[in-house]
């Protein structure tokens, strides 16, 4: 079960969001990555599904939610981060940084993923 949501309000360009989703699709869990990109969310899995055993053992560790065209056309907002267990918090922040090319130190209260708002 995923923990309660950690709200975000990180506005990025539509292109940056689209690039992040494209990167997640390229690193899909069924192709050796850990991501499962949907229309407005990216699920992060514990490990790739490279075998039937991996598929059975893999678990969703968190989800990154995006609102497209928010606050206006041409922009998108990273709105929410769900983290299944505290031990995966850093992985989720690293995923945001890697997928969307974001320097997280610019977020108030976030030091390399150490704090969520």
| pLDDT over threshold 80, residue 8 | yes
Rounded-to-integer distance, Cα 79 and Cα 102, Å: 15
State the residue for tokens 């490990």: 47
Each residue's pLDDT tens digit, 40-95:
999 999 999 999 999 999 999 999 999 999 999 999 999 999 998 778 888 898 89
What pLDDT band is residue 24 in, cutting at 50, 70 and 90? Answer: very high
**Predicted structure pTM score:** 0.85
Who contacts 31 (Cβ-Cβ below 8 Å, separation ≥6)?
Answer: 48
Domain extents for the chain? 6-106
**Domain formed by 6-106, architecture:** 2-Layer Sandwich (3.30)
């Amino acid at each position: 079960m995923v923990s309660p949501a950690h709200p975000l309000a990180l506005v990025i360009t539509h292109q940056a969001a689209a690039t992040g989703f494209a990167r997640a699709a390229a690193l899909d869990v069924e192709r050796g990555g850990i991501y499962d990109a949907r229309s407005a969310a990216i699920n992060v899995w514990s490990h790739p599904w490279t075998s039937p055993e991996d598929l059975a053992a893999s678990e969703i560790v968190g989800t990154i939610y995006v609102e497209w065209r928010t606050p206006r056309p041409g922009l998108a907002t990273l709105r929410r981060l769900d983290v299944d267990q505290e031990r995966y918090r850093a992985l989720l922040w690293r995923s945001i940084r890697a997928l969307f090319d974001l320097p997280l130190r610019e977020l108030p209260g976030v030091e390399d993923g150490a704090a969520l708002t």
